[in-house]
């Protein structure tokens, strides 16, 4: 079982601040997915990173896959209350529905 560690576990910040959350493992992954789960809803895929060193941007969100493909980070610029939620990472699936998620980072952005 691949173990993913996400940090920090909880983060509470003010609107407009920047933040970074991490997803680390001792295993090498062929790809990694980030999901966001808003209160009362199911997780929604944000991005899949595939290549070591890859950087993907989604508006104010920047995702990076480590060179060794063992870790990933998510940086949010100028956080907004709408960014509030649980951020989950998981190794990409080999075309099955079985994903092993990290424990997640709960982000609260206060107005």
C-beta atoms surrounding 29 within 10 Å: 24
Q: Is 39 in the site for another protein (CB under 8 A)?
A: no
> 65-94: which residues touch another protein (CB under 8 A)?
88, 92-94
How is residue 83 annotated by DSSP?
Answer: G
- Residue showing tokens 């610029």: 77
State the Cα–Cα distance between residues 4 and 51, nearest whole angstrom.
Answer: 18
Q: How far is the CB of 97 from another protein (least distance, A)?
A: 3
Tell which one of 48, 62, 73, 84 touches another protein (CB under 8 A): 48
Among 20, 31, 64, 84, binds another protein (CB under 8 A): 31
**Could you tell me the two tokens for 80?**
């907004």
Min separation Cβ 86 and another protein, Å: 9
Give the bridge partners for 75, in sequence order.
20, 62
* Min CB(47)–another protein separation in Å: 10
Strands 105-110 and 10-14, by their bridges, are parallel
Q: Which residues bind another protein (CB under 8 A)?
A: 31, 33, 35, 40-45, 48, 50, 88, 92-104
């Amino acid at each position: 079982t691949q173990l993913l560690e996400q940090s920090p576990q909880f983060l509470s910040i003010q609107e407009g601040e920047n933040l970074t959350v991490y997803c680390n493992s001792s295993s090498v992954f062929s790809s990694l997915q980030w999901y966001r789960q808003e209160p009362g809803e199911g997780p929604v895929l944000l991005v899949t990173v595939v290549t070591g060193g890859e950087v993907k941007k989604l508006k104010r969100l920047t995702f990076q896959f480590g060179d060794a493909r063992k870790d990933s980070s998510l940086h949010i610029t100028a956080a907004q209350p709408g960014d509030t939620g649980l951020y989950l990472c998981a190794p990409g699936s080999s075309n099955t529905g079985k994903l092993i998620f990290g424990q997640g980072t709960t982000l609260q952005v206060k107005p």
